[in-house]
Amino acid sequence: MTDHAHGASEHTPHQSIVRKCDVAVIGGSAAGLAAALQLARQRRSVIVVDDGTPRNAPAAHMHGYLGREGTPPEEMRAIGRKEVRSYGGNVLTGRVLAVRQEEDGFHLALSGGHGLVARRVLAATGIVDELPDIEGLAERWGAQVFNCPFCHGWEVRDLRVVQIVTTPMGLHPTQLMRHLTDRLTVVLHDATGIDPAAVQTLVASGVAVVESAVRRVADADPDGSLVVELADGRSLPADAILTGARFRPRVEMLAGLGIDITAHPSGLGDLVAVDSTGRTSVPGVFAAGNLTDPSAQVLPAAANGSWIGAQIAFSLAAEDTTAGVRPSGVEIEWDGRYGDQERVWSANPNGTLVAEATDLPPGRALDVGAGEGADALWLAERGWQVTASDVSGRALDRIQAEAERRGLDVRTLHRDANDPAAYADETYDLVSLQYGSFQRTPEQRGLRNLLDAVAVGGTLLVVGHDLTWLEQPSDPGEQTRMYDPHAYVTIDEITAEITASSDWRIDVHETRPRPPGAISTHHVDDVVLRAVRLNHRKEL
């Protein structure tokens, strides 16, 4: 599954990339990542697109999540991304602008002019909280201003809490807060529709209730205390503010599909209409998390995402069983790329291969992720017995056709690097992985297959793009980064594996300018690893 342009392609101006997958997940917080994990573990190709704007971004910690109590939300998402990637799932930084349905699946338009084509779509984009129009609330949201006693009530126990009620549902959490602190003051900013009997019950229980509009919330002291200034001129001291929020679902990108939206029973906003399996009114489109339950904390949102991910897996499995196929999402993606144009890569062998292998005595060579075969053909012309391996049958067909045209003998292996015995349990004098990519698995089967294919005395040559540029921040609204290198085995991991073993000798490990001749004209540095196997790996 050679990709001679991973990384480089994203530098090339005006080059649009379209990828194919089983499932596209829009939104990479708790629900989206939990669903992606389920799907990746079912060997489904899944791509998550996330713009980094989760609902709980302002919060310093999340609560009520068994096993993750007090974890910062971003730390939880980082853990989730790592877990999804450990099974080969992609998590892309970017934004989905629109989704349309065509005969070959759902087409997702991404920022930067790129796209995805998916068999299923899961929307896990969450909701946007719309706070009351009171000066000073928005900038303190998620810190001193909150709306959920379960999420933040413990942290303000026994403190001065002012609850600002703006809707008939606003008194709903009051009894919870009354139990958490005896210093609670309820301000009826808008008493329209509020049951007077409920107010009297609160007053009788000892809760102070004030009926007045709130003018603004301001800092009182440098120690972080607040003051709630009322329209009638009074001021209330506070350590924290509890208030309700209206909400709206983030489904602008789904507008063209005609997804059914329904009003939430509270009257505070809308949600996406789904059945018990997360199916929306559009077959093949699912929704999870706060899109369907705005009151769900992180734990139930993640649980819902996990459940919906399983339902998507069932729907794909049923469809494939009926069709009598066991499709590989990775193969479909690469076959699609090789079928879209006459040539994907340049016909030139990789310059680093030429530089590093010219002086090696010809023997048996394995070209992993051979692509269209420029490297394999170059080696065959120099007397090597070459086996070209790739996940794409279309790529291998191109190699065979060109080998026959040149009168060369090149054996092909239609394999994924993660297949059992991917290289037929044979060993080679040269194993070459040039800008190749194969998905990560928890036990790193693909990495083991790669290293085990090198004969004693044989050479492993790995060339990959220097990915330090990915450390630079990007604007997801302007550009979607179309490849997730963390979902694939990296050259650093290969290096670490052989460095830790006495069975290898590293002759070259360096970063150098990329040789000329590639189809991408943008300059990209390469990381080059050349190592020699000294002994067979010792089995445990």
Q: State how far the alpha carbon of 113 is from the alpha carbons of 15, 97, 135, 286, 292, in Å.
A: 8, 10, 39, 24, 29
Calculate the dihedral angle through the C-alpha atoms of 325, 331, 333, 339, rounding to the nearest 10 degrees. Answer: -100
- 221: pLDDT confidence band, cut at 50, 70 and 90? confident
**For residue 344, what are the β-bridge partners?**
none
Q: Helices 445-452 and 491-499, interaxial angle, to 10°?
A: 60
Mean pLDDT for 524-533 is 93
> Mean pLDDT in the chain?
91
pLDDT in the model for residue 539: 46
From the CB of residue 269, how many other CB atoms can be counted at a distance below 10 Å? 17
E strand or H helix at 430: strand 428-434
Over the stretch 41-90, which tens digit does the pLDDT of each residue have? 999 999 999 999 888 888 888 898 999 999 999 999 999 999 999 999 99
Which of 375, 397, 402 has its CA nearest to residue 386? 375
- Dihedrals phi, psi of 228, to nearest 5 degrees: -100, 110
- 424: pLDDT confidence band, cut at 50, 70 and 90? confident
Cα angle at 511 between 505 and 517, to 5 degrees?
110
**Distance between CA atoms of 55 and 60, rounded to whole angstroms?**
12
Over the stretch 495-512, which tens digit does the pLDDT of each residue have? 999 999 999 999 999 999
Q: Helices 73-85 and 30-41, interaxial angle, to 10°?
A: 20
Quick one: how far is CA 502 from the chain centroid?
36
pLDDT in the model for residue 520: 57
Q: Is 404 exposed, middle or buried (0-12, 13-18, 19+ CB in 10 A)?
A: exposed
Half-sphere exposure for 317 (CA within 13 Å, toward CB): 9
Which of 151-165, 221-235, 353-367 is the least confident region?
Answer: 221-235
Mean pLDDT for 127-154 is 92
Mean pLDDT for 509-524 is 74
What is the percent of the chain with per-residue pLDDT over 70, rounded to a whole number? Answer: 94
pLDDT value at 14 more than 60: no
CATH 1.25.40.10 fits 18-128+247-327, yes or no: no
In the chain, CATH 3.50.50.60 covers 18-128+247-327, 132-244
Over the stretch 293-315, which tens digit does the pLDDT of each residue have? 999 999 999 999 999 999 999 99
Which DSSP state fits 458?
A: E
pLDDT value at 537 more than 70: no
**For residue 101, what are the β-bridge partners?**
106
pLDDT value at 3 more than 60: no
**Distance between CA atoms of 156 and 151, rounded to whole angstroms?**
11
Over the stretch 391-405, which tens digit does the pLDDT of each residue have? 999 999 999 999 999
Where on the phi/psi map is residue 167: left (φ > 0), alpha (ψ -120 to 50), or beta?
Answer: beta
pLDDT value at 346 more than 50: yes
pLDDT in the model for residue 339: 78
pLDDT in the model for residue 6: 37
CATH code for the structural domain at 132-244? 3.50.50.60
In the chain, CATH 3.40.50.150 covers 344-533
CATH of 344-533, one of 3.10.20.30, 3.40.50.300, 3.40.50.2300, 3.40.50.150: 3.40.50.150
pLDDT value at 12 more than 70: no
pLDDT value at 7 more than 60: no
Q: What are the respective helix, strand and coil percentages of the chain, to the nearest 5?
A: 30, 30, 40
- 213: pLDDT confidence band, cut at 50, 70 and 90? very high
Which of 82, 3, 79, 88 has its CA nearest to residue 440? 88
pLDDT in the model for residue 521: 52
